[in-house]
Amino acid sequence: MHFSPENLDFERSPYTGLTRKHWIDAGKYILEGVFRHVKSIDDPVLVPRYETEVTYPNSHTPAWKVQAEYYEGLARSFFIAAPLIAIEPDLEIAGIPLRKYYKDHILRSCTPGDSQYVLSYSDMDKDAEPSFGLHTYQQTVETCAVVIGLVSARKEIWDDYTKEEQDLIASFIHDYAVGTTATQNWRLFNMLDLAFLNMMGYEIDKSIMREHAQAILSYYAGQGWYRDGHTFDYYSAWAFQVYAPIWCKWYGYDNEPYIASEFEKNSNELMRTYANMFDKNGHVTMWGRSSIYRNAATAPLAANFNLKNPEANPGLSRRIASGALMQFFGRDDILYEGAPVLGFYGPFTPMVQGYSCAESPLWLGKAFLCLELPEEHPFWTAKEENGVWETLKGGQTLESVLDGPGLAIADHHDNGTMELRTGKVVKRVGDDNGRWCYAKLSYSSRYPWESDLASGLSAATYVLKQSDIEKTEQINSILWSGKRDDVLYRRALFGFETSCDYHWTSLIDLADFTVPEGIVRADKIRLFHKPVDIYLGSYGFPCPDAVWKTVKHGDVQAVIITGHGSDGQRRHMAMTVWAGWNSLSVEKSCGTNPDTKESFIIFAHASREKVFAYEPYILISQVITKEGEEGFSEDEIFSIEEIRYTDKEKCGGYGPVSIKMKTGEIRTVAFTGIEGSLSL
C-alpha cells in the first residue's frame, strides 16, 4: 500500500501539504516495509528478490560480492535510519530497536569471522588476480553511506562504541579510504571516508585526500554539472553535489579552503537552474543510469545547506523534494513485499544494471538526508514555492540551455511538463540500456522512456531499417552544437564506432525548438546507405485504454491519441508530420514501458530508395502532450503556417529553412557551421 500522509499542512506547504513530520513518517513507512523481512535483530537487511538474471548475486557473482549485498542493505537503509535515530533514539521498526540494530550490525560488518563480515579491501585484494592495483569493490560505495550515518547519529551510535570498537570500525573504513577506487564519482566515497576519520581524530594521508579532491574538480564541466566517467546524468546530482558539500563541512573548509570554495561555487551554480529539471509537480524525469534511485535526485537541494554560503531556495527545495517523494511513495507499484522494486515505478528490468542488487534502490534514502537539517531550519519553516512554475504565463516555455553538460531543459507552462534534450553522448554499439538511458532524442517528466519494441522500433528516437542488407540501426551517440536563434542543434549518429571512418556512419543533423506543449523537429538526414526506411517514434503513451484517430489539414497529417494514465487522469498526445514524411501509424507494445504494462507509440515513416538522388532531406515533425479532459485545438496540432526553403526543389538540401508558426513567430533552421561546432 502506498504512503498516505495525514494532517497535511497547506498553509506552510501549499503545493504538497508535507512537513518535516510527514518526512519522518515516510522514512518510517519505508523502513517498516524493509524490516518486515528482518526476522530477528541478528539478521541482515535483505529483501525478497524477484529478479535473478541481471542483478547480483547470481551465478556469475564472486564470493566477495555476496557479502556486498549485506553491506548495501545495511548502509543504504542507514541513509534513512540514521537521521530518524538522531530524532527518536528509542525508535523501533517492526519490533526492532533501530539504534541497537545499526550499532551492532555496523560493528559486525567490520569484524573478521562474523557471518556478516563484508570483507576488508585488503582481504579481497590479496587473493585477486594482478591488475596493476585497479581492483574496485562495491563495499567502497557503501562505506560512504555508513560514515554519513555515523555522523548523523554520532551521539546515539558512534559515541556509544568503546574505544576498541571505534578503532576496529575506523581501521576497516581506512582500508577502503586508501584503497583503489573508480576514477569518477567514486573518489568522493574515499574522500568522505578520510574526512570522517580525520573528524574522529584518526591520522590520515592528506596527500591521498588532495589527489582525489583535485580530480573531482577536474571533472567539472560548468553550470553545476560534473562529467561522471564518460557521461552526464543524475550522478552529478546525487553523488558530486551531495557528497562535495558534506566534504566541505567535514573537512574542506578547514583543510583545503580553495578546493572547498570551488565545490561551494559549483553547488551554488547548480542551484540556479537545477530546480528547472523538475516539472510543475516536482517530479523527477527517468533519465540516465540507476534510475532505481528515483527521488534521490532531489538530495543536492538539501545538501546545499551544508555550505557556508548556500544559495538554494529553501521553500522551493522542500516543495521539489516533497513532490518527488510523493511521485513514488504515492504509488502502490513501487514496492515489492514492502521494499522499493528494481524499476522507476513498478518492476522494469530493461532499466536495471548488473551492478545493482535487490537492496540497491534504497539509495533513494539520500533524499532523507534533509532530516539532518533541524526543525527550525528554513528548509522546514519556509513556505513552499514553485519556482518558474509560478512566473510562467499561458503559452510560455522556459528553456535553460547548458552547454557544459550538453543539456536543454524546457519547462512548459501549458502542460506542466519538463522535457530534457541531451548531447555529449556516446554509447557502444549493442549497449541497448545505454541507448535508452542517454541517447533518446528527448526525455519527458510525464512520459518515461521505453525500451525497444519487438519490431525493432523505439519511442522518442529515430530508427533506420535497411531491408536489402537486413540491418536495423539505432542512435548510439549524440553530439552537441548548442542553441542559436531559438533553435537547438545536435547530431545523431547510428551505430557509431570510433574505429570506423566517419563517412561510413549514418547521421541525422538535429534541429528542434519548443512550442507551448512540446517540441518541433526540423532534422536533416545524412545517410550513406539506401534504400532505407526511416522511423521516428513519439514518446510511449502509457494508457492501456488508448484510442486514436488520424486527422488532416491539407497535405499535413497528425495522429491524436487519448486515454487514461496510471493516475486515472485523461492524457492526450499528438504527433504531426509535415515535410519529408510518408505516413503515420500507431503500434501497441507490452512490457516496454515502466509506467504501465501496455503502451502505445505513434510512428512517422519515410523511405528513401536511391543512393544518389536529390530527394527531401528535411524531416519536420511535432509531438505535443496534454492532461485533462480538454483536448488539443487545431492550431496546436497544426502549429506551422508556412515552410520556406532556399532550394527551388523544396528539399532542404542546402541553405536555411524558414518555419513560420501560426503564432507569427519564425524559426530559421540553418545547419551551416554545425560541422565545426560539435562537442562531446
Domain boundaries, the chain: 20-390, 397-669
Give the residue from 162, 157, 215 showing the smallest Cα distance to 190. 215
Whole-number pLDDT of residue 386: 98
Listed as own residue / partner, the contacts of 645-650 with beta carbons closer than 8 Å and 24 or more positions apart are: 645/618, 649/614, 650/579, 650/616
pLDDT in tens, 512-554: 999 999 999 999 999 989 999 999 999 999 999 999 999 999 9
Report cis status (omega within 30 of 0) of the bond before 257. Answer: no
pLDDT in tens, 85-107: 999 999 999 999 999 999 999 99
pLDDT in tens, 266-277: 999 999 999 999
Check: CB of residue 225 under 8 Å from CB of residue 232.
Answer: yes
The strand ranges marked E within 506-629 are 507-515, 518-526, 532-537, 547-553, 556-564, 570-577, 583-590, 598-608, 618-627
Query: In the structure, what pLDDT confidence band is assigned to residue 129 with cuts at 50, 70 and 90?
Result: low
Give the residue from 569, 545, 572 showing the smallest Cα distance to 561. 572
Whole-number pLDDT of residue 394: 96
pLDDT (average), residues 351-379: 97
Whole-number pLDDT of residue 222: 98
Query: CA angle, corner 269, sides to 320 and 379, nearest 5?
Result: 35
Query: CA angle, corner 49, sides to 45 and 52, nearest 5?
Result: 125
DSSP line for 24-89: HHHHHHHHHHHHTT--STTS------S--SSSSSSTT--HHHHHHHHHHHHHHHHHHHHHHHHH-T
- How far, in Å, CA of 433 to CA of 439, rounded? 10
Neighbours of 449 (CB within 10 A): 29
Check: CB of residue 656 under 8 Å from CB of residue 511.
Answer: no
Collapsing DSSP states into helix, strand and coil, what is residue 305? helix
Backbone angles phi, psi at 626, to 5 degrees: -160, 155
397-669 fold: Beta-galactosidase; Chain A, domain 5 (2.70.98)
Whole-number pLDDT of residue 119: 94
Whole-number pLDDT of residue 66: 84
Q: Against a cut of 0.95, is the pTM above it? A: yes
Give the residue from 574, 552, 576 showing the smallest Cα distance to 563. 574
pLDDT in tens, 382-396: 999 999 999 999 999
* AA identity, residue 148: I
Whether the pLDDT of residue 498 is over 90: the answer is no
pLDDT (average), residues 244-252: 98
Whole-number pLDDT of residue 230: 86
What is the distance of C-alpha 267 from the center of its chain?
18
- How far, in Å, CA of 89 to CA of 92, rounded? 9
pLDDT in tens, 18-68: 999 999 999 999 999 999 999 999 999 999 999 999 999 998 888 778 889
Element containing residue 242 per DSSP (H, E): helix 241-247
Report cis status (omega within 30 of 0) of the bond before 310. Answer: no
pLDDT in tens, 140-194: 999 999 999 999 999 999 999 999 999 999 999 999 999 999 999 999 999 999 9
Whole-number pLDDT of residue 62: 83
Domain 20-390, CATH class in plain words: mainly alpha
N- to C-terminal Cα separation, the chain: 44
Residue 369 DSSP code? G
Residue 679 DSSP code? B
Average pLDDT, rounded, for the chain = 96
Phi-psi category of 485—alpha, beta or left, where left has phi over 0 and alpha has psi -120 to 50?
Answer: left
Whole-number pLDDT of residue 572: 98
Whole-number pLDDT of residue 128: 65
Whole-number pLDDT of residue 201: 98
% of the chain beyond a pLDDT of 90: 94
Residue 262 DSSP code? H
Whole-number pLDDT of residue 297: 98
pLDDT (average), residues 363-379: 98
Whether the pLDDT of residue 196 is over 80: the answer is yes
- How far, in Å, CA of 447 to CA of 460, rounded? 10
Element containing residue 257 per DSSP (H, E): helix 257-271
- How far, in Å, CA of 57 to CA of 77, rounded? 19
Give the residue from 254, 305, 331 showing the smallest Cα distance to 2. 331
Whether the pLDDT of residue 6 is over 70: the answer is yes
Burial of 1 (0-12, 13-18, 19+ CB in 10 A): exposed
pLDDT in tens, 420-452: 999 999 999 999 999 999 999 999 999 999 999
